[in-house]
Amino acid sequence: MDSIFGYFGALFIGLIIGLLGGGGSILTVPLLVYLLAYNPVVATAYSLFVVGSSSLIGAIQKYKNGNVAIKTGLAFSFPSFIAVYASRRFLVPAIPDKLFTTQNFIFTKDILIMVFFAIIMLIASISMIKKRKRNLKSLHYKQPYYKTFLQGLAIGIITGLIGAGGGFLYVPALVLWANLPMKKAVGTSLVIVSFNSLIGFTGDMQTLEIDWNFLWLFTSLTIVGVIIGGRLSNFIPNTVLKKGFGYLILLMSFYILLKELYQ
């Protein structure tokens, strides 16, 4: 029964990505861990492949509509995919399986990943719920590339650790730091996410045994959801959807924290 809900969840994740241009990928890891019983290291690896593949489809849709800034996307992608690959290939395998123990509790690598993931979910939910005003003074500001490079590295490391696409981090970065309009920021973030996630996943291919049959099926369902959501997005305003999805992620972040820390 859990596996059936898991596959329906894949379709739902794609639908959210298609409707909002991102965000749904943050549900992939909890779904793989809690519904399909994968450990967090494998779940974050599989999530990168699912997110990268589905984001690529979404990016193609946005590009056809003229909502992708290729040069800006590449500027962010270069440092980010280096950081994502290094995180998956070296940082995640280097984390000890047991970090510390107390009288009644063992803080493991799996718990660390899920707690960090929940904290990122919490931050992402607040950014989705909170109404942001764009600073008009920043419209004439061109950020030095070294700042873009450092920002790309930081977001890439976070993306690599949690296995989410990072669209919820890239979109505000592209709006605030690269001065892109929201629609173009969303489309450009999908390009960055697809590059980063798929390249990061190649790091996992060298350290994990991949169940390709499951991964292709799960990813295919997500892509179907992306295509449906992309078409529906032309008719449904995403402001209300985004806020509602933000509250869902907020609740899930608290659920993960309680489940992992109070077992």
Separation between Cα atoms, residue 97 and residue 94, nearest integer Å: 9
Which of 155, 132, 164 is CA-nearest to residue 243? 132
DSSP secondary structure of 135-179:
-GGGGG----HHHHHHHHHHHHHHHHHH-S--HHHHHHHHHHTS-
CB atoms within 10 A of CB 194: 23
pLDDT at 136: 46
Separation between Cα atoms, residue 180 and residue 174, nearest integer Å: 6
Which of 70, 13, 26 is CA-nearest to residue 191? 70
Going residue by residue through the chain (263 aa), what tens digit of pLDDT does each one get?
557 888 888 888 888 777 776 666 678 888 898 888 899 889 888 988 998 888 888 788 788 888 888 888 888 788 888 888 888 888 888 889 888 888 788 889 989 988 998 898 888 788 777 766 555 445 455 667 777 788 788 888 887 887 776 776 777 777 777 778 877 887 888 888 888 888 888 888 888 899 999 999 999 998 898 888 877 877 766 666 777 778 888 888 898 899 888 86
Separation between Cα atoms, residue 68 and residue 103, nearest integer Å: 53
Residue with tokens 């803080």: 107
Helices (H) and strands (E) in the chain, counts: 11, 2
- Amino acid at position 150, single letter: L
Domain layout of the chain by residue ranges: 2-261
Asked if 80 contacts 154 with a C-beta cutoff of 8 angstroms, the reply is no
Separation between Cα atoms, residue 126 and residue 247, nearest integer Å: 8
Separation between Cα atoms, residue 191 and residue 77, nearest integer Å: 8
Separation between Cα atoms, residue 248 and residue 261, nearest integer Å: 20
pLDDT at 141: 55
CA Rg value for the chain = 18
Write out the two tokens for 98.
Answer: 């047991």
